[in-house]
Amino acid sequence: MTLGLLFALAIGGTAQSAEIPISGQGHAYNPAWSADGQWLAFELNRFEGGGVDLYVVKIQNGNPVGSPVKMVVPGASSQFSTGSSYVAGPVWHPTNLLIFEGSSSGGVNRLFYWKPGGQNPGPLLTLQQVAGDLSWPTVSPDGKRVAFVSDATGNGDIYVWNQASNTVQLAVGSPQTEGAPRFGKDNVSVAYSRNNQGGEDLFVWAGAQPIPRIGGSGDQSRPVWSGASVVFFSNERGDEHWDVAASDEVGKRRVIAKDVRLPLRAAPALSSDGSWVAYGFSDPTLSSKIRLTKVDGSRSVDLDTGLVAVGEPSLVTAGGRSWLAFTALPSKGADWRQLHVIDVTDKLN
């Protein structure tokens, strides 16, 4: 049992959240906040070959303003299409520019951008700048660089686009497949995963040779930075046991939370200052709860939503308030996962 579990605080009663109205059919996944907390992007996954759509909704005081807007990439038939297009992986630039990956049915996967209130999305990079299927975009905190993965060489290699010069640099290339890059606060260091004999290890690139950060059996996956620490998902205890762990230095790890509900694509959900991580539970008896734990393990708070199969959390702090987005089924046996937003300011103080 971690120190955070020993000091877990249960919040009395059921927490009330605002539900985001979704007109399309599918499961809501992977919510992503803009830095100012005014916009929330999320995926709508239809599964079974139905494709993935991406929507954006304006949020004011924790409530949706208007209907979510669907992202339609060039080559898709219309904003009302229901084909097997793929539009996913939203990340936000500090200027509220949304960057994501997508393709129309049967097309090449590329990176696109969209400005709230603007026209349809446009391509971020040309084929002349970098070829192949592009995925896993991440933006540096200062907004000057975008790192991503391209399969142009036949493997997944990490590239960095410099916005000022509009140039693309190969950062990490190897015979293995790299994935899930994430910039650190220094705007240079990139943590990422690399396939290794059926599992995944974590590495850090800081402009020179990549440095192995943490390995072991199973997957060490989807890193995100909390200061100088790398927080990630690990199933070192077995395929059915996903943990949230942190590496404070090379070769060292500590477990923050055990048996969490693994998000479909997202990295561990950190607060804006990197001090808290939010997660759901794989245990069905705890499926109505989200737990918020300090990354240093010193404190945890449970949030009971009154819903089912709660997961996919995303945190943001803006305007003096902290907001949690998450997805859940409204009841056991319900058709679709819905998206919710709740104020957690008092829980993180």
Look at residue 337 in the predicted model and tell me its pLDDT.
Answer: 93
Would the pLDDT of 193 be above 80? yes
Contact 241, 229 (CB under 8 A): no
Work out the pLDDT band at 76, boundaries 50, 70, 90: low
pTM, two decimals, is: 0.92
69 φ/ψ sector (left φ>0, alpha ψ -120 to 50, else beta): beta
Look at residue 113 in the predicted model and tell me its pLDDT.
Answer: 97
Work out the pLDDT band at 84, boundaries 50, 70, 90: low
Q: Please tell us whether the domain made up of 3-343 is placed in CATH 2.120.10.30.
A: yes
Would the pLDDT of 8 be above 50? no
Look at residue 7 in the predicted model and tell me its pLDDT.
Answer: 30
Contact 137, 99 (CB under 8 A): yes
Q: Is 17 exposed, middle or buried (0-12, 13-18, 19+ CB in 10 A)?
A: buried
The percentage of residues in the chain with a pLDDT greater than 70, rounded to a whole number, is 91
Contact 114, 71 (CB under 8 A): yes
